[in-house]
Amino acid sequence: MKKNFDAIVVGAGPAGSSAALTMAKAGLDVALLERGAFPGEKNMFGGVLHRLTALEEFFPDFWDQAPLERHIVKKGLTFMTGEATFNVNFDTQASDRTPYNGYTVHRPRFDRWLAEEAQKAGATLITRTTVDDVIREGGKITGVTTLRDGGALKAPIVIAADGVLSLTAEKAGLRRPKFDRSHMAIGVKALIEMPKETIDERFGLVRDQGASTEIVGCTEGVRGGAFLYTNYDALSLGLVLHLGSLADSGKTPYDLLNRFMAQPQMAKLLRGGRLLEYSAHLVPEGGYEMMPELVGDGIMVAGDAAAMCIVTGLNLEGINLAAQSGVLAGKAALEAHNSRDFTKSGLSIYRRMLEESFVLKDLKLYKRAPHMLHNDRIYTSYPELVCGIMDEIYRIDGNPKSTMTQLLMRAVKEKVGLKNALADVYSGWRSL
Amino acid sequence: MNIDEIFDYTSFNIDREAHIVLDPAICVRCDQRACTNSCPARCYTWSEEEKKMTFVYDGCLECGTCYVVCRPGAFKLWRYPRGGFGVSFRMT
């Protein structure tokens, strides 16, 4: 097997394949390494594939080319208690027109497709290959060793796109060896088989329209929330739990997931469904605050490996940031090859391009959001407050009604306290 | 969903070689053992009678939770499985 390349990309996920595609299209000789038997085999998410503006130059009709499930027209937010739900839905025809705003996908299919597009463009896709370490020469990273026959691959540029734990970035000394558990969340997911017609009727959808809902209040006090997305003929649902909070709670993710699926309103939506697959993965929710060094001598870090993740409670972005950072890392590699400068300063154009793009602008804009979300009241008191108020508004029990103001003040005082509520509104406003 | 039946839902190509090796002495001294409840595949079980941690990597989802929650030095080895081995998501 060939051992020398212009660039090595570690990890054929959205960041890595976007980088490989960008470089291969421009004529670089690229190795795209993947530890799975095929790209996507190890990848799951509890998310929506947001519109990938970064890839639109390569795929002008992305929605006709990529293996997608449904495009999202309906976004929902649900406050949940043990026996009630309060839903806010936004359903718009604007999201029913191309370019679509987001999609549901099966990662083993989507990631495989994107990696194969990089391969078609000329990248050498090498699967079943786990990277073990980086090779250093004169202080510079000049390649990687793999767990496959002790193999070594050499290139003046390595792009670490190996996911949330990025052992490659760690070996290169770009991230701290120990993660802070408060920066991480664990996502667990169940894929539930359901006929397309049933999904369409239950969720009010037609054709390839899809719905995505975020749910809060369903985690028994563990910080986190749930998601429910419609695939073509399956539902994706699961929990995203802050790791520190979960660890301290003594509860297990699968018991919480089972009880969430058994909650009465959820159970109605899932009725008749069959579990197809269970999966789990960490999410780098800390975002900007936990970012590693993005550039070193001969190396750049992209996607989840660089903690490019935005969690606001309403949006959960990751793949769009990964694809954008991958494309920019690819462009920086092209620049570096033109100037023959593979040092940290030669590659620092990557950081500058990220600063000018939405990637670092948005990560900085929402850098307070993780702190705001480390507030236990969000996960129990507020869902109870909202559902409690709705219950009182609708309840007919022979007693005289309170005014809305009385109702609201009483509920706030009882559930969260007035001072806390004001502080939370302020903190939420500042973060978002 | 019964987590004990994980092999009915999720596919694995189990390697003979472990990709994670614990240092059991660290687990005995650990005061939280967060792995036992946080691991979404229940790979870690603590026996109070035997004062012993049992770790089985067969159903590991490669999520990274133990890498983050466990004590420094808890692992003699922590890496991803060799290429082609480990969890194999078909759809998810």
Could you list the residue range(s) of the whole structural domain that residue B57 is in? Answer: 3-83
**A319-339 vs A349-356: helix axis angle to the nearest 10?**
140
Inter-residue contact A259 to B1 (CB < 8 Å):
no
Contact A280 B91 (CB under 8 A): no
- CA–CA distance, A370 with A291 (Å, rounded to integer): 13
Q: Quick check: B30 contacting A, CB < 8 Å?
A: no
Shortest CA distance from A164: residue in chain B = B64
Confidence of residue A313 (pLDDT cuts 50, 70, 90): confident
Which residues in chain A (322-381) have CB-CB distances under 8 A to chain B? none
Contact B92 A44 (CB under 8 A): yes
The whole-number pLDDT of residue A314 equals: 80
Q: What is the CATH number of the domain that holds B24?
A: 3.30.70.20
The whole-number pLDDT of residue A13 equals: 98
**B-interface mutation test, from A69, A104, A130, most B Cβ less than 10 A away:** A130
In tens, the pLDDT along A8-31 reads: 999 999 999 999 999 999 999 999
Q: Is the pLDDT of residue A297 over 80?
A: yes
What percent of chain B is predicted at pLDDT more than 70? 100
Q: Quick check: B9 contacting A, CB < 8 Å?
A: yes
In tens, the pLDDT along B79-89 reads: 999 999 999 99
For residues B10-25, average pLDDT: 95
A7 vs chain B: nearest CA distance in angstroms? Answer: 20
For residues A307-333, average pLDDT: 94
In tens, the pLDDT along A97-116 reads: 999 999 999 999 999 999 99
The answer to the question of residue B26 being in a domain is yes
Q: Is the pLDDT of residue A393 over 80?
A: yes
A398 vs chain B: nearest CA distance in angstroms? Answer: 43
Of A254-258, A380-384, B12-16, where does mean pLDDT reach its minimum? A380-384
Q: Is the pLDDT of residue A158 over 80?
A: yes
Angle at A256 between CA B81 and CA B67, to 5 degrees: 30
B75 vs chain A: nearest CA distance in angstroms? Answer: 13
The answer to the question of residue B18 being in a domain is yes
The amino acid occupying position A70 is: R
Contact B9 A278 (CB under 8 A): yes
Instruction: List CB contacts (< 8 A) between A35 and chain B.
Output: 80-81, 83-84
The answer to the question of residue B92 being in a domain is no
Contact A130 B6 (CB under 8 A): no
Residue A429: how many CB atoms within 10 A of its CB?
9
Contact B83 A129 (CB under 8 A): yes
The answer to the question of residue B90 being in a domain is no
The whole-number pLDDT of residue A47 equals: 81
Q: Could you please report the per-residue DSSP string of A377-399?
A: GGGTHHHHHHHHHHHHHH--SSS
The answer to the question of residue B78 being in a domain is yes
What are chain A's domains? 7-68+105-177+290-356 (3.50.50.60), 185-283 (3.30.9.90), 371-431 (no CATH)
Tally of structural domains, chain B: 1
- CA–CA distance, A280 with A344 (Å, rounded to integer): 35
Inter-residue contact B80 to A130 (CB < 8 Å):
yes
Confidence of residue A288 (pLDDT cuts 50, 70, 90): very high
- CA–CA distance, A113 with A58 (Å, rounded to integer): 13
Q: Quick check: B76 contacting A, CB < 8 Å?
A: no
Q: Is the pLDDT of residue A430 over 90?
A: no
ipTM of the complex: 0.97
Q: Quick check: B83 contacting A, CB < 8 Å?
A: yes
Instruction: List CB contacts (< 8 A) between B13 and chain A.
Output: 37
